[in-house]
A and B are shown apart, each in its own frame.
Chain A
């Protein structure tokens, strides 16, 4: 029998506790809802890139404010070590590569530089699904954030489902069904975790005397 005292599990649990506020889940849920309702903005005559920016920007601001004013005062401050930093760099590299690939494809489709039919021939939904799900799952593994697996599946399945539903339901309903439902589910899950977090970690009045007795 191998008895190994491995502190990695303690580090992993300490790191995972920083996601326990549910705010990151809410962020992803709202972003998915944004994907799902994007067609509505297009119908209103708002450019797709602009509508995405208008939607994502306030959400990200709210996320940062939530972390700063709600989570940090309750969780406390921690700086994780070299291992976590290395993982973050790897995650950043994958995220940047993904952003470049999808940014280019997105730009090509919305500006009609390359006909959509040609793109789907060379970059069909199956490859899209694998790329999104695989890369986001790797990121989820490295950052120890399980909800990201579900987000990966939601996005990976969302595009082909929306493509399939579009001719039958129209683009607005297709988007809502393909992304909106999963986004709403993840958002509600995040809200539940947030409420639980607030109850579990009330704001503590740390007495200066207790922090370092003389």
Chain B
């Protein structure tokens, strides 16, 4: 997608990573970027998403290499631990810088 007047900031936003650029996934990545790891239940509580919804977004993030999903057991009960990958962290930080730059330029002219 290309804007008619070739404004670099708009170009960057339009070509933003669509995996990240979705509200629920952005929230999930924001949370995982500030912790070392968290389980499925913690993310449900923090995001307010339903189990199915969260699961679907986690699946997309995992397939795109943003997060690692580690299935373990704790006292015979399954527990899924989620962690941001190094590459995922870099891409997410880059996305945040893009959005920050865009809003900064919009607001300051």
Interface residue ranges, A against B (CB under 8 Å): 1-5, 7-8, 10-11, 14, 17, 74-82, 201, 204, 206-208, 210-213
7 cross-chain pairs, A with B, having the tightest CB-CB distances, nearest first: A76-B42, A76-B41, A11-B34, A210-B51, A211-B80, A77-B39, A78-B38
Chain A residue, CB-CB nearest to B83: A79
Partner of B96, one of A5, A8, A17, A211: A5
Partner of B78, one of A4, A11, A211: A211
Is B16 part of the binding interface, using a Cβ–Cβ cutoff of 8 Å? no
Is B23 part of the binding interface, using a Cβ–Cβ cutoff of 8 Å? no
Return chain B residues, CB-CB under 8 Å to A206: 40-41, 44, 51
In the complex, 22 of the A-B residue pairs with CB atoms within 8 angstroms, ordered by the A residue number, are A7-B30, A7-B34, A11-B35, A17-B45, A74-B45, A76-B40, A76-B41, A77-B39, A78-B39, A79-B35, A81-B35, A206-B41, A206-B44, A207-B51, A210-B40, A210-B52, A210-B54, A210-B55, A211-B40, A212-B58, A212-B71, A213-B59
Is B24 part of the binding interface, using a Cβ–Cβ cutoff of 8 Å? no
Distance between A171 CB and nearest chain B CB, rounded to angstroms: 46
Within 8 A of A (CB), among B25-56: 30-31, 33-46, 51-52, 54-56
Is B100 part of the binding interface, using a Cβ–Cβ cutoff of 8 Å? yes
Q: What interface size band does chain B fall in? A: 35 or more
- Additional A-B contact list (4), CB under 8 Å, known A75-B45, A211-B78: A1-B104, A3-B100, A10-B30, A76-B39
Q: In the complex, are the beta carbons of B51 and A3 less than 8 A apart?
A: no
- Report the separation of the CA atoms of residues A79 and B31 in the bound assembly, to the nearest whole angstrom: 11
Is B91 part of the binding interface, using a Cβ–Cβ cutoff of 8 Å? no
Distance between A136 CB and nearest chain B CB, rounded to angstroms: 26
Is B10 part of the binding interface, using a Cβ–Cβ cutoff of 8 Å? no
Chain A residue, CB-CB nearest to B51: A210
- Report the separation of the CA atoms of residues A2 and B56 in the bound assembly, to the nearest whole angstrom: 35
Return chain A residues, CB-CB under 8 Å to B35: 11, 14, 78-81
- Report the separation of the CA atoms of residues A207 and B55 in the bound assembly, to the nearest whole angstrom: 11
Return chain B residues, CB-CB under 8 Å to A79: 35-38
Return chain B residues, CB-CB under 8 Å to A77: 38-39, 41-42, 79, 81
- Report the separation of the CA atoms of residues A122 and B58 in the bound assembly, to the nearest whole angstrom: 61
Return chain B residues, CB-CB under 8 Å to A78: 35, 37-39, 42
Known: A10-B31, A77-B39. A5 touches B44 (CB 8 A): no
Partner of B107, one of A3, A5, A201, A204: A3
- Report the separation of the CA atoms of residues A210 and B52 in the bound assembly, to the nearest whole angstrom: 6
